[in-house]
Chain A
Amino acid sequence: MSIFEYNGSALVAMVGKNCFAIASDRRLGVQLQTIATDFQRISKIHDRLFLGLSGLATDAQTLYQRLLFRHKLYQLREERDMKPETFANLVSALLYEKRFGPYFCQPVIAGLGDEDKPFICTMDSIGAKELAKDFVVAGTASESLYGACESMFKEDMEPEELFETVSQALLSSVDRDCLSGWGGHVYVVTPTEVKERILKGRMD
């Protein structure tokens, strides 16, 4: 079994009209055994920037702590928050530093950049960035997620419709993946507020 499939994960980020949504599943497993059903895979870097980390949970936690360290120092020195594009470059650089002994994670970065323009991107475990205008996916359920997002995505969705679309795409994809699921965690971010919602899906 691949190390990336040890804990199981599903992550998706989608762009809407002046907003974005980032969603994850809630299962933490050790191969076939489910250990936790409330695992947080998405973390806030600042009010307009969220990071989701799929893959090996321990690497995801450590990587998040390291990134928070770097972002805190950036905030203190520059007296402002990091732009999503800049943050993506930082993540990419940190991952590549470990090119020959990598973090077994696949990050999904979602944020609001200048003029509230939504920004999403994902990268592989050694920092190859993939920018997208519509959606990005990661995790053990990524193949199903690609299909679901491709068919359900529409451009310029309002926050409420975006929430529905992301939730349906996530839940239908994790149902086809035994290693991810046990509900969903969705953040919908607009320039004025962050709405966090928990989804109840098939609890298996």
Chain B
Amino acid sequence: MSRRYDSRTTIFSPEGRLYQVEYAMEAIGNAGTAIGILSKDGAVLVGEKKVTSKLLQTSTSTEKMYKIDDHVACAVAGIMSDANILINTARVQAQRYTYAYQEPMPVEQLVQSLCDTKQGYTQFGGLRPFGVSFLFAGWDKNYGFQLYMSDPSGNYSGWKAAAIGANNQAAQSMLKQDYKDDITREEAVQLALKVLSKTMDSTSLTSEKLELAEVFLTPSGNVNYQVCSPDSLSKLLLKFGVTQAATEAS
């Protein structure tokens, strides 16, 4: 390994790699898993909360899920402080677009705009990349429901189901097996919870360790982003039979 090509973000190694970007992805590999699944009538985001302590002050704010605009939300994995900066940037970008064009920013354009910001930190300025991966779930009138995954290099792509954070490869292969193209939103929730329960390290799954959010259309045709309350989440976990330890559920 050519360690001498590590310390600057803005140079390639002889093998053509950007080490700082790869190290950023390492950092994300230690963070709580987040899974996103696209269905015909909505997109589902599930996240594993890493920090659970009795001493933690309870608040209604979420740790893994954030609203970017009325029609786009994201799940994060990685360094939270880096994520906060990028989420704020994304929110401002979405509002600037709405101010200029008087309509909601298309999801892919928002993701691309944020990824352009991330890319800048891999090419100039001498600053390290952001240690965050995102799963963006949103709806726009051009392409309907969409799910995008982006990483510290500034790369992004659209997915039907994706996972980021710890054990993401295991989660991704499980999703590949069980995902069907005509999956409904309820089935997507079930699948996401099932996959997450299998990839999580903890011995038991309670609603305190998870976050669930959905992006869907209301009957009146408006996009809605809703975070599941802890009570509803507990009921869902019981309903789908995933409250047991990961080893028992099969």
A residues sitting closer than 8 Å to B (CB atoms) are 65-66, 68-69, 72-73, 76-77, 79
Docked complex Cα distance between A163 and B91 (Å): 39
Q: Is the CB of B92 within 8 A of A73?
A: yes
5 further A-B pairs in the complex, CB-CB below 8 A; given A66-B99, A68-B98, A69-B99: A72-B98, A73-B91, A76-B67, A76-B69, A76-B91
Q: How far is the CB of A106 from chain B (nearest CB, A)?
A: 22
Find the A residue at minimum CB distance from B87.
Answer: A76
Docked complex Cα distance between A52 and B248 (Å): 61
Q: Is the CB of B95 within 8 A of A72?
A: yes
Show 17 A/B contacts (Cβ-Cβ < 8 Å), sorted by A.
Answer: A66-B99, A68-B99, A69-B95, A69-B96, A69-B99, A72-B69, A72-B95, A72-B98, A73-B91, A73-B92, A73-B95, A76-B67, A76-B68, A76-B91, A77-B88, A79-B60, A79-B61
B residues sitting closer than 8 Å to A (CB atoms) are 60-61, 67-69, 88, 91-92, 95-96, 98-99, 102
Note all chain A residues with C-beta closer than 8 A to B60.
Answer: 79
Find the B residue at minimum CB distance from A75.
Answer: B67
Which of A68, A76, A79 counts the most B-chain CB atoms under 10 A from its CB? A76
Please list the 8 inter-chain residue pairs (A to B) with the smallest Cβ-Cβ separation, ordered nearest first: A69-B95, A69-B99, A76-B91, A72-B95, A65-B99, A73-B95, A76-B67, A73-B91
Note all chain A residues with C-beta closer than 8 A to B98.
Answer: 68-69, 72
Docked complex Cα distance between A72 and B69 (Å): 8
Q: How far is the CB of A168 from chain B (nearest CB, A)?
A: 35
Docked complex Cα distance between A108 and B146 (Å): 40
Docked complex Cα distance between A96 and B73 (Å): 34
Q: Is the CB of B102 within 8 A of A65?
A: yes
Q: How far is the CB of B56 from chain A (nearest CB, A)?
A: 18
Docked complex Cα distance between A65 and B98 (Å): 9
Docked complex Cα distance between A68 and B92 (Å): 12
Note all chain B residues with C-beta closer than 8 A to A79.
Answer: 60-61
Docked complex Cα distance between A69 and B97 (Å): 10
Note all chain B residues with C-beta closer than 8 A to A72.
Answer: 69, 95, 98
Note all chain B residues with C-beta closer than 8 A to A77.
Answer: 88, 91
Docked complex Cα distance between A65 and B96 (Å): 10
Docked complex Cα distance between A92 and B66 (Å): 30
Docked complex Cα distance between A69 and B94 (Å): 10
Q: How far is the CB of B149 from chain A (nearest CB, A)?
A: 22
Note all chain A residues with C-beta closer than 8 A to B95.
Answer: 69, 72-73
Find the B residue at minimum CB distance from A65.
Answer: B99
